[in-house]
């Protein structure tokens, strides 16, 4: 006569929920515990990228089975990659909101946002240089170079220099050319 192992009825009902909990929690744990400074892609973390589509769904976890937390509708918006898991990148926006985005919806093109107040763009990296244009907070520009305290940015077809501290989209000590 065969011997069967019986699982008590209350535990049996909990097995599907326990399995679901483990499958949802493991990817998040694996992605956020990478302290090497490099993600699965081999690229540094944190780093800045831009949204590469007109509509980007940011999810609560790294996969399509996770609910959508945010929908971004601004192509080129700079976001910070703070974690990676498989094909998904955990991003943080200027307001501190975080979500998981598929890597195909991101672009390596570097953009920045003007922060704080109206900021001047100078012809050269010097506050005494002629002003090329004045940019309002939230204006998006393309990052051309970053060295020391200054960044060269292109806004509306005109390039100029602005102090790094007035930008979102570039790390404090990052050099970019």
Paired strand residues for 145: 152
Cα(67)–Cα(61) distance, rounded to whole angstroms?
8
The pTM (predicted TM-score) of the whole model is 0.78
132-152 per-position pLDDT tens digit: 999 999 999 999 999 999 999
Residue 41's pLDDT is: 85
User: Where do the domains of the chain lie?
Assistant: 9-109, 112-168
Q: Do the first three CATH levels of 9-109 and 112-168 match, i.e. the same topology?
A: yes
Helix, strand, coil percent values for the chain (each to nearest 5): 15, 40, 40
16-36 per-position pLDDT tens digit: 444 444 444 444 444 444 444
The CATH homologous superfamily of the domain defined by 112-168: SH3 Domains (2.30.30.40)
102-131 per-position pLDDT tens digit: 999 999 999 999 999 999 999 999 999 999
| CATH classification for the domain delimited by 9-109, as one of 3.90.950.10, 2.30.30.40, 3.40.50.2300, 3.30.70.580 | 2.30.30.40
Across 30-34, 68-72, 92-96, least confident range: 30-34
């Amino acid at each position: 006569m065969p011997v069967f192992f019986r699982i008590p009825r209350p535990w049996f009902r909990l097995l599907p929920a326990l399995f679901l909990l483990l499958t949802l929690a493991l990817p998040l744990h694996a992605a956020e515990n990478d302290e090497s400074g490099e993600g699965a892609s081999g690229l540094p973390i944190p780093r800045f990228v831009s949204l590469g589509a007109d509509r980007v769904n940011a999810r609560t976890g790294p996969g399509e089975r996770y609910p959508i937390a945010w929908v971004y509708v601004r192509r080129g918006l700079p976001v910070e990659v703070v974690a990676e898991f498989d094909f998904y990148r955990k991003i943080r926006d200027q307001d501190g909101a975080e979500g998981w985005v598929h890597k195909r919806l991101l672009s390596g093109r570097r953009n920045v946002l003007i922060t704080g107040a109206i900021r001047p763009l100078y012809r050269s990296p010097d506050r005494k240089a002629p002003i090329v244009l004045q940019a309002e907070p939230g204006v998006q520009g393309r990052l051309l170079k970053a060295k020391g305290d200054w960044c060269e940015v292109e806004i509306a077809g005109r390039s100029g220099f602005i102090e790094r501290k007035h930008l979102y989209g570039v790390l404090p000590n990052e050099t970019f050319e």
